[in-house]
Chain A
Amino acid sequence: DAGVIQSPRHEVTEMGQEVTLRCKPISGHNSLFWYRQTMMRGLELLIYFNNNVPIDDSGMPEDRFSAKMPNASFSTLKIQPSEPRDSAVYFCASSLSTTYEQYFGPGTRLTVT
C-alpha cells in the first residue's frame, strides 16, 4: 500500500518567491495534518483537516501561509511570499478520525535563500 506521498522532496527558492508543497494522503483516511519541523522548535502542527474541511489552523504562523484540501486525495500548503525563516522540513500526515493513528509522509525540505 502506498503511504502518504509528498512532493517535492526538496525545494530551494529565493526569498519572496511563492512555494507550494503537495500531499496525497493514504486512501480512505479522512484526516490530514501539516507539520513543520525545525531544530529550534521541533515538530509543530500547522493545520488539521477533517473530511476536507479545515478544523484547526491555529498553528499557521502568519497570513503568508495558506492550506487547501480540494478533495479527499490532495492537499497543498502554500507560502507566499517565502522568507528565510520558513526554511524547515514540512511533513504531511493522515489518519482515520476514528483511531487518530497518524502516518507521516517523507517530508519536503524547504530552503529559502
Chain B
Amino acid sequence: KQEVTQIPAALSVPEGENLVLNCSFTDSAIYNLQWFRQDPGKGLTSLLLIQSSQREQTSGRLNASLDKSSGRSTLYIAASQPGDSATYLCAPANDYKLSFGAGTTVTVRA
C-alpha cells in the first residue's frame, strides 16, 4: 500500500517568500504524480502533473520536481502571494489509483 508523507504539515510565510513543500512516498513504481490545491470547503484543483519519466514540470510560478527512485517530490512556489494560501496535496499514482498525503497548509501573510 502506498504511504504518502507531506512535510511540513503547516507553513506560514510573509508575502514574497519562496515556498518549498515536500512529499515522500513508499512505492516508487508510480505512473505519475499530481499536486493539488484545496481551498477551505472547496474541491481539489489540479496544479501540476508530472509523469514518472520526467524530472520536473513547471507552470508559471510553480515548479515540481520528482525523484522517483528515492520516492520524493517537491513543489516550489516562487514569490508567494496571499492568494496562495491553501492546503497543498501530493498524490502519486500507481496505475489509476491516487494516494493522498495529509497535505501542507500554507498561509501567506500580507
Which residues from chain A sit less than 8 Å from chain B, CB to CB?
31, 33, 42-43, 45, 48, 50, 55-56, 91, 93, 95, 97, 99-107, 109
Contact = CB atoms under 8 A, between A and B. Distances in A.
Contact of A42 (B31, B46, B97, B100): B100
12 contacts: A42-B100, A42-B102, A50-B96, A91-B44, A95-B96, A101-B32, A101-B46, A101-B49, A102-B46, A103-B46, A104-B45, A105-B43
Interface of B: 31-32, 34, 36, 41-46, 49, 89, 93, 95-98, 100-102
Contact of A100 (B31, B89, B101, B102): B31
Given A55-B96, A56-B96, A102-B34, 11 more contacts: A31-B96, A43-B100, A45-B98, A48-B97, A91-B43, A99-B32, A101-B49, A102-B46, A102-B98, A104-B43, A104-B44
A95 B45 CA distance: 13
Contacts of B96: 31, 33, 48, 50, 55-56, 95, 97, 100
Nearest to B93: A100
Contacts of B93: 100
Q: Interface on chain B toward A: helix, strand, loop, or mixed SS?
A: strand
Nearest to B44: A104
A101 B43 contact: no
A30 B90 CA distance: 23
Contacts of B32: 99-101
A23 to B, nearest CB: 12
A14 to B, nearest CB: 23
